[in-house]
Amino acid sequence: MTAYTATVTVRLKHGVLDPEAETTQRALERLGFELDDLRSADRFEVDMDAADAERAAERATEMAERLLANPTIHDYDVEVSETDG
């Protein structure tokens, strides 16, 4: 088994109300930053042992689909990297 870190980034789909991002965008614009759009996201880092990177990605995807993301309103990305361990 090899140690991996899977990073799962969960964000609301385009068109879904994102009040946190809207508030933050307005505050940034008041500070003088010009923005076209802003979306908030949650990032989860999962350390695990797996036979290979593909299996680690499969497990992280299953975690996202079963708990970390609501597929009705969220999109998610999974990235896997081997860890020093």
CA 44, 46, 16 angle in degrees (round to 5)?
25
Residues for the chain: how many in total? Answer: 85
pLDDT per position as a tens digit, 45-80: 999 999 999 999 999 999 999 999 999 999 999 999
- The pLDDT of residue 85 is 60
Q: How confident is the model at residue 25 (pLDDT cuts 50, 70, 90)?
A: very high
CATH 3.30.1280.10, domain 2-82, yes or no: yes
